Structure 1
Amino acid sequence: MARFKTLDDLEVAGKTVLVRVDFNVPMRDGKVTDDTRIRRALPTIKELSAAGAKVLLLSHFGRPKGKAVPEMSLQPVVGPLAAVLGSQVTFASDCIGPEAEAVVSGLGDGEVALLENLRFHAGEEANDPDFVAALAKLGDVYLGDAFSAAHRAHASVDGLARALPAGAGRLMQAELEHLGSALGNPERPVAAVVGGAKISSKLDLLGNLVEKVDLLVIGGGMANTFLNAQGIGVGASLCEYDMAETARQILDRAEEDGCDVILPSDAVVAKKLAAGAECQIVPVREVPADTMILDAGPDTAADLARRLAACKTLVWNGPLGCFEFPPFDAATNQVAQAAAALTKSGSLLSVAGGGDTVAALAHAGVAESFSYISTAGGAFLEWLEGKTLPGVKALEDAA
């Protein structure tokens, strides 16, 4: 595991600490509808505050493309943040310049301020040195605490970490430590569950995983593409027929690397995708031509649960079926619940993340029972693909 500094290594008392958080939260009509990301930032904020640091929070929100867009202001986050923090939060109407500097000079030790949306300035996404300098001027120390933005080489993610003494906040630290133990230096056997609609969007991911895991479970629409590549008819199912050769290459590489690839042996099929649609369970080699595969079948789910019991580490990305439409959530629910039970018993380290995964595991009632669930979408996927994340590399270089 590459080393980076954490809060344990930095002197913060009496200093102004710039913390890059991810407050790009869901909002409707100017109100925050889900405060998960705000809550996840609390450990770092509270620890800094208790240590007597002045805490300056930096975040982006939406895609304003370098212009001040009133609907994308971070002002609506102030109330929910103050509520969960249990103390006052000051808001600065800009993230650099006189407004930001005035707020900083008015902060007492232990107090917290949130700066306006970083992306109101084009310099943020351009990683512009002048913009980095204007941000750096506000503080003494930088903490990266937004793993979900770590795949972007932006000013507040990469540039600032190189301009000030820098380390990882508690959320970033937890994320990197869990990911490191899941794929960096894992306890074997390691299993990966990869679901989702298209193999074309997960080629790099599958290519990296076959080299790193012992067991690769492929579900969702992607599994149909692999079944077709093996000459199995998938009826009217979602399938990327033009990716057959690529799928075969991935299976060949898996065999070379000693990775066991598991595809569904039975399937739940229906003529239409809708909640409560009439469906039947068939072996995958007997899918009727006018039906779609919408979930892995019960035999497949039971087999996966059994195989996971022999594993020590699990990385999960994507559902096994169309979980948003019961009864096509059964396989995802059953396998996720089995993984959760193994995690609770202490025999399995389970790390999940990316896109629909968080929603699928919450739907299965196991969101609290995995070892770690990453709220990062793109960054989690790029990390799984084996890519270098600029925001992580900057912290490693700083150390």
Structure 2
Amino acid sequence: MTQLTLHEDWYLLPEKRSKDTIEPKAIFTKKQLTDKQKSWLKSHDESNWQDIVLTQDYKTPKGFLKKLVWRLPGTFERKDTCGQWITKGCDNVFGHPENKKFVRHSKRSCFRSKCEYCWLEKWLARESHRATTRIENYVKVFKHLQFARHPKFQRKYLNPIHVIVSPSWNDKFISFDQLKNKARKLIEHAGIEGGLMIYHPFSLDEKTGQWVTRPHFHVVGFGWIINTRKISDSDGWVIKNKGLRDSLHSTIYYQLSHAGVSDDVHSITWFGSLGYRAKYADRFKVEEDDETDFCDYCGCMLVDFEFVGQGEPPDYEFVGLVNSKDWKAKETLEQAVDKKEMTRNNIKNRYKNPRKDFINDGQGIGSDYYRFLENIKLKNRKSLDHYHYFSTEFLEKTAKSFIPSYVLSLARRL
């Protein structure tokens, strides 16, 4: 008895060690608004952030004319689901350090730049991260290619620089496609081989503290600016080389924070050697991040969790290991897999072509259309496939007169 009492801890089973003991990860990460982000929101309330608008003509690559309505980020109402809490977790405690549960406690988001709730915490963080990752991947690829060609000599400048391109007074309010094309030609002529462009329709007037219409572009790219004085003198455009940046992510993050937002144009556009049609574009492509679906420690699929501890659940977002007594799973792993598969099937059904389904449902004019094709035994059915894309109202109005003459005329040509 004496030996047992002296060594009562000796006979207890040891806790199972995690595979992550060799390379430990952060146990808990808390996400909250920084002081800088809070100051941004405060300044927006005091200025005309919500009210300023710029309308520009825009000719699409297919030749259609549109009106672009530019606003600043976060000027539209949020969706009903934005900001709702969603908690996922993993209760495989034997695969986690300290035998704790892994929980990801976050808010739902639409990830839209114009959403008043999601633009700052969600959209801005994701877009700046993806842009930074794409540039870093580009640097890795071309460093490898340069070393393979000339180990002792570097041809390209692989440190991104920040450039501001301001149009002349006569060109400030031309159509957006002309403004953008001219800016790209000038920066390529100045020595920028590729990078990203962010359009700013507005600037903050330091004297009044209000936003004013002052279109310009911010470029983060590779190359070296030359002959900027000649370009400014000849065309009236101003190109400022801000030089190398200490933090690439911070530069992109800040420029996106007050970028122009419109429904038909992306806030970030890539050009040159970083464009989507560049020679090595597939090598520095940013892959989709699926980290929210699986545990960071054991790799198991996350399931719905709920807080069962004392008091209210945390009112801030976090990712990490928590006390096993305060959180528990609301569903089994099998139920989570079935729910995910059902959601995937619902998304596929949602984006089906309703006009094509109307043709094939055996009702209305669709059945008459295919019955007529079977009667005349057309061999080449593909020539009539574009018939599916007429609107349902148009088909109903012209069912009696349009179909026979249209199909017969095509049948005679076949």
**TM-score > 0.5 by shorter chain:** no
Which structure has the bigger radius of gyration? 2
Greater helix proportion: 1
Q: TM-score range by the shorter chain?
A: under 0.3
Kindly indicate whether structure 1 or structure 2 has the higher relative contact order, using CA contacts under 8 Å at least 6 residues apart. Answer: 2
Relative to the length of structure 1, the TM-score reads 0.21
TM superposition score normalised by structure 2: 0.20
